[in-house]
């Protein structure tokens, strides 16, 4: 089991690798470190009035107009994008995996469609994104991009479902370049997936890693600067079995395929 421990991330000040409180922590680093703002991701506390799913703290991500990052081989600034994201240090070449995160959008969160806003994604090293979780024109949408383009696009939460409340997301996947792959997405303790797919889930020979935060693409579509957006995350886990995620998981692993 891997879990993000917010307090440790805060202690490290996002200077390098962010990890859990023990050697089994799910480790993250900045997706694109250059120009990453101090307000981009912060540890916030329930005691200060911030939304927290469990424990005392959560992670608050914010993107404002002009928050474009870059690396040696990619520039958001040159490609009409803005973001503050973290990416997992751990990656997966293949096999069965379970992932969990909780997400919260403030009641006054501005939707900026047709600008694309990703709130979580599974990407490939030296390859294209394979699965994205989009805000679209409201709500939470699973975007299957396994072939390198959108093959399937389905809403799993409405706009009203997302605002001012926590939503728990559970993903059960078999990473495979063959027909034995699958990708199931469960929501809020339900035992039937709101999204179910079987078939290829990744490209041949590519390792998959997880990214989360706020990522805006094609920010010029509406013209002018876009408003700031804020999203909160909590309870991030990854494991090879459902039962290995957490003792306090809000899903009944015995009833989930």
How confident is the model at residue 205, as a pLDDT?
98
Of the listed ranges 5-19, 72-86, 108-122, 136-150, the least confidently predicted one is: 5-19
Other CB atoms within a 10 A radius of the CB of residue 63 amount to 26
Of the listed ranges 25-29, 115-119, 178-182, 240-244, the least confidently predicted one is: 25-29
Q: What percent of the chain has pLDDT over 90?
A: 85
To the question of pTM greater than 0.85 for the whole model, the response is yes
- Quote the CA–CA distance of 112 and 16 in Å, as a whole number: 31
CATH number for the region 2-255 comes to 2.60.120.200
**Band of residue 26 on the pLDDT scale cut at 50, 70, 90:** confident
Residue ranges of the domains in the chain? 2-255
- The residue ranges of DSSP E strands in the chain, in sequence order, are 2-3, 28-30, 41-45, 57-63, 81-88, 95-104, 116-124, 131-134, 140-144, 152-157, 166-175, 182-187, 195-198, 208-217, 229-239
How confident is the model at residue 72, as a pLDDT?
87
Taking residues 36-57, report their average pLDDT.
Answer: 96
């Amino acid at each position: 089991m891997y879990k993000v421990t917010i307090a440790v991330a805060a202690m490290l000040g996002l200077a390098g690798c962010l990890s859990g409180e023990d050697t089994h922590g799910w480790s993250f680093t900045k997706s694109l470190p250059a120009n990453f703002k101090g307000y981009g991701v912060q540890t916030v506390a329930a005691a200060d009035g911030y939304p927290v799913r469990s424990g005392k703290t959560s992670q608050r991500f914010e993107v404002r107009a002009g928050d474009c990052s870059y690396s040696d081989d990619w520039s958001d600034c040159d490609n009409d994008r803005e973001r503050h994201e973290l990416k997992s240090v751990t990656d997966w070449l293949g096999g069965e995996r379970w992932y969990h995160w909780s997400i919260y959008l403030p009641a006054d969160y501005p939707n900026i469609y047709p600008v694309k806003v990703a709130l979580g994604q599974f990407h490939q090293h030296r390859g294209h994104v394979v699965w994205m979780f989009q805000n679209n024109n409201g709500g939470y949408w699973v975007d299957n991009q396994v072939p390198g383009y959108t093959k399937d696009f389905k809403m799993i939460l409405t706009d009203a479902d997302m605002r001012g409340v926590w939503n728990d997301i559970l993903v059960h996947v078999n990473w495979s370049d063959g027909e034995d792959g699958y990708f199931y997405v469960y929501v809020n303790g339900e035992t039937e997936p709101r999204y179910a797919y079987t078939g290829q889930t990744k490209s041949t020979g590519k390792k998959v890693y997880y990214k989360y935060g706020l990522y805006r693409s094609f920010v010029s579509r509406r013209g002018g600067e876009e408003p700031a957006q804020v999203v909160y995350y909590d309870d991030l886990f990854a494991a090879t079995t459902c039962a290995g995620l957490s003792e306090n998981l809000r899903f009944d692993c015995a009833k989930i395929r």
